[in-house]
Chain A
Amino acid sequence: MMDRSDAETEVERYELTEAPLYRFDLERRDFMRIFAAMGGGLLVVTSLPEAAAQESGRGGQGSRASADLSAWLHIDERGHVTAFTGKTEIGQNIRTSLAQAVADELFVPMTSVSMVMADTDLTPYDAGTFGSQTTPRMAPQLAKAAATARELLLSEAAKKWSVDAATLVVQEGRVQGPGGHSAGYGELAGRLTGTVAAARVSGPDAWTARGKAIRKIDGRTFVTGRHEFTPDLVRPGMLYGRVIRPDGYVGTLVTLDDARARAIAGVRVVRDGELAGVVAPNERILKRAVAAVRAEWSVPADHPSSETIYEHLKKAPATGGGGRGGSAPFTAGDVTQARAQAVKTFDATYRIPYIAHVPLEPRAAVAEWADGKLTVWCGTQRPFGVRSELANVFRVPEERVRVIVPDTGSAYGGKHTGEHAIEAARLAKAAGKPVKVVWTRAEEFSWGYMRPAGVIDIKAAVDAGGRLIAWEFDNWNSGGSAIRTPYDVPNQRIQFHPSASPLRQGSYRGLAATANHYAREMHMDAIARALGIDAVEFRLNHLKDARMRAVLTAAAERIGWAPSGGGRYGSGDRAAAAPSLGIACGTEKGSYVATAAQLSKTASGFKVDKLTVVFECGAVVNPDGLRNQVEGAVVQGLGGALFEAIEFRNGVIENGTMERYRVPRFKDVPPIETVILDRKDLPSAGAGETPIVCVAPAIGSAARAFGNVDTALPVKLNP
C-alpha cells in the first residue's frame, strides 16, 4: 500500500486546497440517477475494500481513500457496457487502457465498451488524475466492477436455465451453457438490478485485451480535427471572454480606462471586485477590445530574479499554508561521525530552475449559468477539486455545480487548479450568457504555475575501500519526491526545506523526483570519476534492490557500456575521440528506470546522439501506449535537461513566449531506444512520470567527458 500513502503525500505537498471529505449518501443518490438515466440494465458500484482503506493509517482519511476510488459500470439491455470514472484523459491514453481492463473481464470486444470520464454529475468522486495512479489503482477497480458484473450475469443465466454456473462460458458478450443455451449480456442485465459485490480479478495470464497494443479509441477524431477540446466548444448564445492582466505575473490594478473598448459594438467590460474582464461576440472582436483597454498596475519592487532565486530560496522559508510543510529529516546512523572518519569527502550544490509545462492546449473553460446551476467545461486534472473551488467562490452548494472535462490537450501536472474555470464563470455571471475563456500563451507563462525551482546541497563521504559511508542531502523548495537515496549508505541525513516562492509553483510530471535524481545521480557519477571507479560498477556496489540493478545493467549493456577485462563493467579506456557515455538510474512511484546517453562533442558544446531507456513498471497493460508514454516522458525530459529555464526579473517573465522559451522539437530528438522489462509477476505501476527522471543526469554525466559541467540545469559546459 506504499503507493497510496505516497499519493496522499503528494496531494498534501502540492495541492493548494485541502480536498473536502465526501459524503457517501450523495454517491448512492448519484448512481441511482445514473441508473435511471441509462434506462435499466445492470449497474455495478465498487469501492476500495475496507481493509485496504484502513491500511492508509491516516485516521479519518480512510473514508476519503475509499471514496476516491469508486468506479461504476453499467450494462444496458442491448449488452452495451459503459464504465464511469472520475479520471481525466490528458493524452496518457487511459480512455483506451481502462476500456481494455473492462473488456477483458467481460470478454467483450472493445467496441462494446464506452467510457464516461471526469463529469462531476455522472462519475464517482475522484481526487484527481496525477501521480501515475490510474493504472495501478483505477484499472483494478474497473476490472473488479466488470468481473463482478460477469459473475452476476453468469449466476443469472444459471438460475434462468437451472444449471450449475460452473458449466457456463462467456464469449463475445454472451453466456453459453450446456444443451445449446445462449443469452446475450443485455438480456441477462435486463433481469438484474444494481448491486455491489466483490469478485476475483483475473491476473495477467487471463488478460485478452490488456497486455496487447490496442489502437487509441478516439484516434480518428484527432486526425480529422473532430475531437472537441474545451477551446473548441460552443454553447448557445456564448460570448468570448478574457481577463485584463498586467504584463508580468504580479500587479494590482490602479486605473482602468475602458472607454475605447466599450465603444466597440457588442463588447462589454466587466468589473467584479478585483477582476476586470472583457466579453465580446467573437474572438477577433475580443482581441481588439482587450487591446483597447488601458490599465495601470502597481508592481511591488524588490522581486527576486532568475539569477538571485537560489540564494532567495535558501534564506526564505515557506510561511505556513500551501500544504508543503517541511518534514523532519530522515536520518540513519551518524553522518557527523562518519564524515570524521572518511578518507575523502565530496560536496556540491545543484541548482534547478523553474520550468513551465507549456501544454499545447492552454487553460480554457466554458461556463454557463442556468436556473442557479453552474456548468463549466474545462481542461483540468481535478474536476472535483475545481467543482469545490467554484462552489466556494460563488457560495453555492457543490450539487449546483457541474464540471465536465473534455479529453484535454495535455497537462503534465500543470492543470490541477481551476482559475480559468472561475474566470469564465465570473464573466458568464456578469454577462448573463455562457462565456468561453481561452488563455493566451502569455497568460499561460505568467499566470499558470511552474515546476518549483530548487537548490540541493549534497555532502558525501567515502571510506578507503571506495564505499559511501555518509550521505547528506538538503533540498530547498523542489520537493520531497524521490529525495531518499536508493543506494546503500549506512549514515544518512536527508531533508526537504520548503521555501517562499516568488512564482506560483505546483505539480509537474515527476514532481521533484527529476530534481532529486539529477543531483543524486550527478553526484554519484562525480564520486565514481574521482575515485576512478566505473560509474555503473560504483552504483552496483551500493545497490541491493534487484529491480534497480536489472534496469541499470540492461541500460549499460544496450548502450554498449565498455565491458573491460577488469570486471563486467571496466573503467572504460575509451579513446578521447569516441563518443561519451553517461548513465543514471532511479525509482519513483513503484517503477524503475535507467537512462543511458551517448554524446558527441560539437563546436558549441555537445550533441545527444542517442538515448537508451530501460523501464520497468511491473505487468504491462498496453505495451504500445506504454512505449508512447515512456518516449514522451523522455522527450519532455530533454527540454529540462538541455534548454528549458524560466527567466524572470522585476515581476515579469522575460522569456514567456514559444519563441523564447524553447521546448523540444523534431530536430532535438535523438534516436531513442526504449526497452520495457515486462514483469507479469508484479502489480502494474503507473508509467507517465518516472521515465523523465534520469534523462538530465545521463546527459550531464556524459557531458563531463568534454569539460567542466555546470551544477545547474539545464546541462551546460562551463567556459
Chain B
Amino acid sequence: MEAVKKISVTKKINHWLLTISFLVLLFTGIGFAHRIVSWINAFFSSTYFASEIHKWGGVIFGFTLLFSIGSYLVTSLRFGGDDVRDGDRSRKANVPPQGRLSLGQKLFYLTLLVLGLAIVVSGFILWLPNSSRGLLQLGLIVHNVAFMALIVTLPFHVYLVIAANPGTYRIVTHTTAPFKWAKKRYTKRVKKPGVD
C-alpha cells in the first residue's frame, strides 16, 4: 500500500506523552475535585502521592504543549480563502481543498493551546509554596474554567479521530496514512506518496 508520512516519530511521541499526561492529570484532578470519586487516588498509592503525580504530570503536559507550538502554531495561524469557504456551513457539501490542517483542526489546536497553557500556568500558581490568597483564588478559577472548556472540547476531537473519520487514528499510531486517503483529504498538500 502506498503511504504518505504525515508526522515525524518525534511528533508522534510528543502526542502520546501529551495524551497520557492529560489522562493522568484528568483522573488525579477529578479525584481531588470531587470527594465522591476521591477513591480514584487510591490507584496512585495515596492522595498525597496522587497530588505529586498531578504536579509533575502537569510539567510533562506543559512541555509537550510547548513542543507542539513548533509543530502546529504557525500553520494554525494561517487562514486562507479555503479556510473561509470551509467555515461557511451553507457550502459544507463542497468541502474546499485542504492543506496540512483543516479549519477545524487549526481552531482545535489554538483552543487546546490557549486552554492548556492557562491550565499549566494557573496550576503552577497553585503549586507555588507562598502564593497569596488572592493569587490562589485567581489560579483556582482560571484552572477550573480552562479545564471545563477543555473537557467539553476534547470529546469531539476524540470522536472525530476515532469514529467520525476512520483512518485518521492511524496517523498517531503509524505516523503514516494511505496515500489515496491522504490525497483526498489534504489535496493541496499531498501530491505523491512519501513524506508529507
Do A and B share a complex?
Answer: no
Residues on B lying within 8 angstroms of A by beta carbon are none
Q: Which residue numbers of A lie inside 8 Å of B, CB to CB? A: none
